[in-house]
Amino acid sequence: MHLDALTKGYRLYLEHCQHSETEPVLDLTRAWTLVRFFDADILQLTKCCRCTSKFVAHKHDLQHNVVCGACQPPSRAGKTKKAAAARQEAQAAEAIEAAQIAQAA
Told to check if 5 binds Zn ion by CB under 5 A, we report no
Q: Which region among 5-13, 18-26, 71-79, 81-89 touches Zn ion (by CB under 5 A)?
A: 71-79
Contacts of 75 (CB under 8 A, 6+ apart): none
Q: Which amino acid is at 65?
A: N
Q: Which of 8, 30, 50, 82 binds Zn ion (CB under 5 A)?
A: 50
3-state SS assignment for residue 26: coil
35 is a site residue for Zn ion (CB under 5 A): no
Q: Which residues bind Zn ion (CB under 5 A)?
A: 48, 50-51, 68, 71
